[in-house]
Structure 1
């Protein structure tokens, strides 16, 4: 018994288990405690707790006494609890704390005297308006800082000088109009300042960021690409700004860039984009493009030119795009699509051409296509030449065109078709169309058929389930069977009376 007592005393405190758990909380064997709808930080939280999660509560004020006994705490998340203030030095004694998240509260300032052990600090969705260098003193181990959706209007980036290990900084949604640099964070890899009101950056702002990989500047007021972007960048997001031109000199050095997002700007052309040898994703949707970019990076895998004013698609822009898999040209004014324009796209699987002015399905599309979207064009005919080589096609969208009939032979060329969208067309509901629908369903194709335009008695009914059409086709079938029986009887009578046999393969003899 004495031995057991000694072992208990020697066993590390942070590894111990507690038999008590506060009301409205759950505790588990991993020293994790979760509490909901509490009015204060529960006093009975086990001293061995490593992970504490408090959410959707009503805790207006945090104080030192709330965490005095939690000497083993490594992660504290207190969210959606209406917290307005934190007593000075509340977290200072938590020497093992690595992650502190106080998001979606009502904090007006950053808590003071944070422990030097801290690696993650998330304060998003509060009411913080000012940042001071003293807020971050001693945080030499901090790797992640998130202060998005607060009330910060301006930032002097000397504020972050103590954060020598910082790798990720998020300042989205603060209505910032100006920033002062340079930003001396030598280990920073991720920087996001989306949805602010930034107009420009000084030429030296990004110069110290030699290891920056991801830069997010979506939703600002930029009119040009910032100067001296780090050569190390892998991803650059500049969508929802006011860019009118992309200059060769601004991007020529970004040889490592893999993703470039330029959607929702005012671009009518782009210059030098082909000089980005490692670019795999390029998004140009919702700009002012009237033609396809003529020179594109050879390693491109995704190209989005949707919602522009492109009228023609020719082979000139796609000759060397052997890695292209996704091409989005929807919501343009494409009326001419050159036959074989995409012959060079040997891996294309997804082609979006919805909401254009095409009167026919483009010829010689890549046989690698798995999805083809042609919704909202002026297509009247679905022919053999357009589809016969698309053996890999799984999704075909022909909604809202001018198609009135289908040829069963055409669909036989699509052995892997799984989804066929045909609604919104002026269907002539014939028995042949009904049979085609049944064949498609039998082979496992999910068909959205649409409504009959003709004949009049079936108008407005679904041609996949029209009772009138089904009855008419069954009547026709019965009539055809009766006619066939009459013909067979007549032929039998002819044979019995020495009539002429019209079957060339018929021989009237017996084998001995």
Structure 2
């Protein structure tokens, strides 16, 4: 029934000025634009009047590679075992990634003085196979890619012209002072997925490289934040390390930092103090998920937009932990140990931009008090909420999505006026609770209502009244019978396109289905007959699912589906009764029969 659409993968043209690099776990796209200069370029000549004319440069191109007159050589994935010898001295971009090269010497590089981009990622290079001096003499080299090799130590010296360096997914244990130091043009360094420890880093490893903006150091073995980080940094990745403590002043000079990734470490509240993040005035994204925090850290910067605190051991939220973060929009607190009584009523006071709150997989006994008044998405699934009082949701006027699924709610403890103020609510999920009937007083604004996996035996009179915007209703896996659904219930749902009544106790196809219906799920019921008029009022239906009922070939009218011109899938397959079985078998709970799955 579904359609499969392929996704176009990211394509980068390895042309003059564009190099695509993918290291393990990270992706970077570096764009290098050659600036026009007043002096003549290589390959240009002056005529007798002094005018500059283009002269074609004769290039010797290695076998299996492709070359351009502009100095681009592409030997990507041609199974080279050695560095190509016959390269033109005019080569500017050299792509050697995805080969089997084990050695790069000074002799290989000495005549490539025009080289600006060198891509050697995904080869078999070792530290012993790299000549440090070879890189150092490349005075125009801006982009160096050595990811996915077997290096254990970085080159001791790289050229001062360097703009970006990628050493991801090696076995690095050692960085030297001038590997990345004294590089005034350096903008980005990628060292993720290595084996670096604090002892393997030099003191102030970026000394003289004050313009560094991106530093990716994830998936190593650091216990502390590297010292002397350049103040120009705006993105810092330190996730998947062994960080236990952030030393005082580690981030004090990073006034431009916008993104800080600290997830998957072992940080506790003792490892961060009230001043750790307080000076990061530009910080918008902070990820502290999957650490050992037991409380929301104090002193968080006021300009944060997205705060990840999931997968910790946070039990409560104090009165002043979040309130200074005036620009906060997303708060992710799922998979913690939050209890409602430990969340201060003023914990969200003043957070006027906070619209998405995730608190699922916690230990909440009730809906927390004082939730942000402008919240639009509230995820409270998989808690132990057993009651929703009349005023528990009263301040959430702007809520559009509320998920209370898989809690301990019963019909007796869900107040019939609990949702009365949620006039903008579009999606409500009450699945996986202990409801005996469909709740009364549901918002008329709903587009999606899910109440599957409950114990419902009744859809009471008026519970669906006025829900003219409802498009999807899922009441699967309950105990509903036809006579327990009030007459005219479906006719009120004039916009309904998907109705799931599967895994219930229905004996017939429900009457008076809405004309708008497109998908009807009735599998795993007790339906024994399909009449000629069963789908007379549903001309727009596209999918009907009747598997695992009590149907026989004689109990399905030939005219039941003939008029449904839009029908794409009709599933009356495995699990219905075969033509040879008697009437007495129709009372069995799980009859079996021949497949009659029809894909129109």
What's the TM-score, normalizing by structure 2? 0.64
CA RMSD of aligned residues (A): 3.0
* TM-aligned CA distance change 1:452 to 1:307, over 3 Å: closer
Look up the match of 1:198: 338
Provide the C-alpha distance between the structure 2 equivalents of 1:63 and 1:350, rounded to a whole number of angstroms: 62
Look up the match of 1:296: 442
Matches within 5 A, 1:50-449: 50-61=187-198, 62-68=201-207, 70-79=209-218, 81-86=219-224, 88-91=226-229, 93=230, 95-110=231-246, 112-114=249-251, 115-130=254-269, 131-155=272-296, 157-160=297-300, 163-182=301-320, 183-184=322-323, 185-200=325-340, 201-269=343-411, 270-271=414-415, 272-314=418-460, 316-336=462-482, 337-405=485-553, 406-428=556-578
Provide the C-alpha distance between the structure 2 equivalents of 1:363 and 1:60, rounded to a whole number of angstroms: 70
Matches within 5 A, 1:5-16: none
Pairwise CA distance, 1:304: 0.7
Pairwise CA distance, 1:310: 0.8
Pairwise CA distance, 1:339: 4.3
Q: Any stretches of 5+ residues in structure 2 without a counterpart?
A: 1-36, 42-138, 150-161, 581-590
Pairwise CA distance, 1:315: 5.1
Look up the match of 1:499: none
Pairwise CA distance, 1:150: 0.8
Provide the C-alpha distance between the structure 2 equivalents of 1:368 and 1:36, rounded to a whole number of angstroms: 54
Work out whether residues 144 and 166 of structure 2, in 8 Å CA contact, stay in contact via their aligned partners in 1: no
Work out whether residues 315 and 342 of structure 1, in 8 Å CA contact, stay in contact via their aligned partners in 2: no
Provide the C-alpha distance between the structure 2 equivalents of 1:205 and 1:463, rounded to a whole number of angstroms: 58
Provide the C-alpha distance between the structure 1 equivalents of 2:291 and 2:194, rounded to a whole number of angstroms: 21
* TM-aligned CA distance change 1:32 to 1:235, over 3 Å: farther
* TM-aligned CA distance change 1:136 to 1:343, over 3 Å: same
Equivalent residue pairs, number? 420
* TM-aligned CA distance change 1:279 to 1:463, over 3 Å: closer
Work out whether residues 437 and 460 of structure 2, in 8 Å CA contact, stay in contact via their aligned partners in 1: no
Pairwise CA distance, 1:427: 4.2
Asked which structure has the greater CA Rg, the reply is 1
Provide the C-alpha distance between the structure 2 equivalents of 1:151 and 1:220, rounded to a whole number of angstroms: 15
Work out whether residues 145 and 165 of structure 2, in 8 Å CA contact, stay in contact via their aligned partners in 1: no
Provide the C-alpha distance between the structure 1 equivalents of 2:552 and 2:273, rounded to a whole number of angstroms: 69
Provide the C-alpha distance between the structure 1 equivalents of 2:364 and 2:202, rounded to a whole number of angstroms: 43
* TM-aligned CA distance change 1:413 to 1:34, over 3 Å: farther
Work out whether residues 574 and 592 of structure 2, in 8 Å CA contact, stay in contact via their aligned partners in 1: no
Tell me the secondary structure at the aligned position of residue 409 of structure 1. coil
Provide the C-alpha distance between the structure 2 equivalents of 1:338 and 1:32, rounded to a whole number of angstroms: 68
Tell me the secondary structure at the aligned position of residue 462 of structure 2. helix
Matches within 5 A, 1:469-508: none
Listed one character per residue, the Cα deviations across residues 386-444 of structure 1 (whole Å, up to 9, x for unaligned) are 212222222221111111123332121321122222223334369xxxxxxxxxxxxxx
What's the TM-score, normalizing by structure 1? 0.75
* TM-aligned CA distance change 1:289 to 1:462, over 3 Å: closer
Higher helix share goes to which structure? 1
* TM-aligned CA distance change 1:370 to 1:104, over 3 Å: farther
